[in-house]
Chain A
Amino acid sequence: MAVPVPERFKRAAMVTMISIKDVKRSLLVSLWFVFLSFPIMVIQVNPVERTVVWRWSNMLYMGIASLLLSFLVRIWLLRQERRLAQKQLSSSPQPSILHLLLKQQKFRYPLIIGGSVIVLAFPLIFSSYQANIMTTALMYIVLGLGLNIVVGLAGLLDLGYVAFYAVGAYSYALFNLHFDLGFWPALPLGGLLAALFGVLLGFPVLRLRGDYLAIVTLGFGEIIRLILENWNAFSKGPSGISNIPRPGFFGVEMSLDQAMTFMYYLMLVLLAGTIFVVNRLQDSRLGRAWVALREDETACQAMGIDKAQTKLIAFALGAFWAGLIGVIFAAKTTFVNPASFTFMESAIILSIVVLGGMGSITGIIFGALILILLPEYLRPLSEYRMLAFGAILVAMMIFKPEGLIAGSRRVYRFQAQKIQPMLKNNE
């Protein structure tokens, strides 16, 4: 579309123009927040020593922060209105810059190759401490991809995802404790047990509406955690199980550093496998059925899709990956206890999926990297981590529900004259 230059300037000018009324409103909003946050932000009491601290500076910060935020929202709203007026929203949502960059052949291969080199050489370049953090990030990517099957593709809001993670971790811990089972047999076993739990939970909740399903899965997650916490004879209660062996590699003796590095590569392989499988699932009869189910259950059934079966498979597959990562988690930390499997863990994984983009593999990779690495490297800010996660969930739903990188639909090739099937893959 060719827009004359002056026209575009005018538009840009109008976008940034904020009326007096807007300023007044923003000031009011900021005043309201100052009032709202007054008792909790300003007053700090010490009931034991019976002292009161009045933190008036907090009031100022709150006022400034809310004023700025309010301005930003107003500008966004103005732009949105303008865009609507110009009907630029007519066709599919505009792909993000990153996505465009990846689409361009010129950038795509250098980016991918460069990325792979860094990823492969990571433990060689950086310390094992860094590699350890990266391993955690990789684990969350896989967890995000697993939850993405359930939430992003099939549209089933599972708030108890961490329960399957716990099942995986505890199955390795317990089988190792009682039967001396090694890491390698435990890995698939943990995944399968988690998948079994997924099916067991899936069966009764299939009939439920979306929001009820969310609450039931949340309840289920909490039940699992509470059982682990209280059933001492079974799970050793809150103190957890320690001395879980790290994964071996054909009996090679490894130092702690080497073990960490090995863990990193192991995770990398697992991630590559997960991306491959999730990509193929997405792009299959089953994957289409999940997305259709997310869009409209009734229409799905009318089109002959077995709702129960399709949902169950989504649940089981999602749980399978959580179970796998659970085993890895137990092996990596050599210790499990119920405190690692709270609702907040589910919320973190959900934030990754929501931030990155439901149904988008690239999006989830970026989502996990941002949410897991940023707090690690911005140590002073790390205590604001959960606050930010909450804010991200709200802000994403309001401003960009499709996520940073929206999943794009596939374009198919058809051969009317049946020369040769040519399935070409665009993400």
Chain B
Amino acid sequence: MDYFIELFCSGLTRGAIYALIALGYTMVYGIIGLINFAHGEIYMIGAFTSFIVATVLSIYGFPLAAIVVVTGISAAIWSSAYGYTVEKIAYKPLRNAPRLTPLISAIGMSILLQNYVLLAQTSDFLPFPELIPEFAFMEPVAHIIGSSDLVILVTTAISMLLLTLFIKFTRLGKAMRATAQDKTMALLVGINVDRVISATFIVGSLLAAIGGLLIASHIGQINFAIGFIAGIKAFTAAVLGGIGSIPGAVLGSLILGLTESFATGYVSSDYEDVFAFSLLVLILILKPAGLLGRAGTGKV
């Protein structure tokens, strides 16, 4: 039974990380209908920036609390900056191009960013400094759920809450919803669509950066290629939940996280990624609208 709960908890943790990335996919898709292939790389850059900043600070002997705060802020700043720039360079000029054009551009961006980090840093796996201490109060359940799992779950929950409040109540959030509904109408009622799109990329990147920081400190190592697989899995989660739908992305992520956790725990860990990919292929073929997505008759 303990094993089951342990798998369940690690599944939730995985799901939480996927959710942080999946939200970026789903929000961008909701607004400009593009699979932002480079989003996984933004997450990787978040993790890498965290790694660099945290290691530098720890080498220079800063206290843990300061390291955590500065690392978090830097990861957020640089990830959003990258997300913003990627949109400006690779997608904005292609706003009215045929559908596959920005997708190919996005794939190019993804390869470019991966190799940029590879060349500027290293291809090796790097040990990530320990940012999350083992909490004393977690001692009794430590064999089932670790402190970092708890931190991940709590941080993710807070992020989701803030995101929901942002989208529901702020001006910009409302503008985002309007733009997702109907871009032309949004333009007509005076919404600056370009700015809304930029904001969407920034918010998505911010969440991905949080995910990058959390996963790096959870697993304890990073390299330049972590974004690719994580990106595809998060995309799977977004599609599973119904791409374009924010609650859908969270639901899909949790389902994917749990499925993976149980499948690797009870079946075989060799095929960890195969489960996710198979799930992706199956959903897209059987129910492309996802669990919470809107199915519509295509306009002719």
B271 near A45 with CB under 8 A, answer no
Stretch touching chain A among B94-102, B164-172, B189-197, B199-207: B94-102
CA distance A343 to B115 in the complex (A): 14
> How many Å from the CB of A139 to the closest CB on chain B?
21
Binary CB contact string for chain B from 129 to 168 against chain A (1 if under 8 A, 0 otherwise): 1000000000000000000000000000000000000000
Binary CB contact string for chain A from 372 to 397 against chain B (1 if under 8 A, 0 otherwise): 00000000000110110111111101
- A390 cross-chain contacts in B, Cβ below 8 A: 108-115
> How many Å from the CB of A45 to the closest CB on chain B?
4
**Residues of chain A in range 320-374 having any CB-CB distance to chain B below 8 Å:** 343-344, 347, 350, 354
- Output the residue of A155, A220, A227, A398 with the most chain B CB within 10 A: A398
Stretch touching chain A among B177-185, B246-254, B256-264, B277-285: B277-285
Binary CB contact string for chain A from 22 to 54 against chain B (1 if under 8 A, 0 otherwise): 000000000010011111110111011011100
A387 near B277 with CB under 8 A, answer no
Known contacts A50-B59, A230-B271; is A223 also within 8 Å of B121 by CB?
no
Is A279 part of the contact surface with B, judged by Cβ < 8 Å?
Answer: no
Is B1 part of the contact surface with A, judged by Cβ < 8 Å?
Answer: no
A393 near B271 with CB under 8 A, answer no
**Selected contact of B121 from candidates A32, A44, A211, A397, CB within 8 Å:** A44
Is B43 part of the contact surface with A, judged by Cβ < 8 Å?
Answer: no
CA distance A347 to B281 in the complex (A): 20
B112 near A211 with CB under 8 A, answer no
Is B53 part of the contact surface with A, judged by Cβ < 8 Å?
Answer: yes
CA distance A384 to B115 in the complex (A): 8
Is A427 part of the contact surface with B, judged by Cβ < 8 Å?
Answer: no
Stretch touching chain B among A4-12, A202-210, A306-314, A414-422: A202-210
**Assuming A157-B104, A215-B232, A219-B232, what are 20 further A-B pairs, CB within 8 angstroms?**
A36-B81, A45-B59, A47-B129, A205-B285, A212-B239, A212-B284, A219-B281, A223-B281, A226-B274, A230-B271, A298-B300, A387-B112, A393-B107, A394-B89, A394-B109, A395-B108, A397-B102, A397-B104, A398-B105, A401-B97
Is B63 part of the contact surface with A, judged by Cβ < 8 Å?
Answer: no
Binary CB contact string for chain A from 129 to 161 against chain B (1 if under 8 A, 0 otherwise): 000000000000000000000000001010100
Is A218 part of the contact surface with B, judged by Cβ < 8 Å?
Answer: yes
**Residues of chain B in range 70-108 having any CB-CB distance to chain A below 8 Å:** 74, 78, 81-82, 85, 89-90, 93-94, 97, 99-105, 107-108
Of all chain B residues, the one with the shortest Cβ separation from A354 is B104
Is B52 part of the contact surface with A, judged by Cβ < 8 Å?
Answer: yes
B59 near A40 with CB under 8 A, answer no
Classify the secondary structure of A's interface with B. Answer: helix
B: number of interface residues (CB 8 Å): 65
Classify the secondary structure of B's interface with A. Answer: helix
CA distance A38 to B78 in the complex (A): 9
CA distance A387 to B115 in the complex (A): 5
- A45 cross-chain contacts in B, Cβ below 8 A: 51-52, 55-56, 59
B105 near A218 with CB under 8 A, answer no
- A268 cross-chain contacts in B, Cβ below 8 A: none
A204 near B285 with CB under 8 A, answer yes
A215 near B107 with CB under 8 A, answer no
> How many Å from the CB of A33 to the closest CB on chain B?
8
B284 near A43 with CB under 8 A, answer no
Is A214 part of the contact surface with B, judged by Cβ < 8 Å?
Answer: yes
Known contacts A394-B109, A397-B108; is A210 also within 8 Å of B99 by CB?
yes
- B232 cross-chain contacts in A, Cβ below 8 A: 215, 218-219, 222
A219 near B280 with CB under 8 A, answer yes
Q: List 26 A-B contacts (CB under 8 A).
A: A39-B48, A39-B53, A40-B45, A40-B120, A41-B120, A43-B52, A45-B59, A52-B56, A52-B60, A211-B34, A214-B100, A216-B284, A223-B274, A223-B278, A230-B270, A230-B274, A384-B115, A384-B119, A387-B115, A387-B119, A390-B111, A390-B114, A395-B108, A397-B108, A398-B93, A398-B105
Known contacts A39-B52, A394-B89; is A383 also within 8 Å of B285 by CB?
no
- Output the residue of A347, A350, A387 with the most chain B CB within 10 A: A387
CA distance A52 to B101 in the complex (A): 41
A391 near B112 with CB under 8 A, answer yes
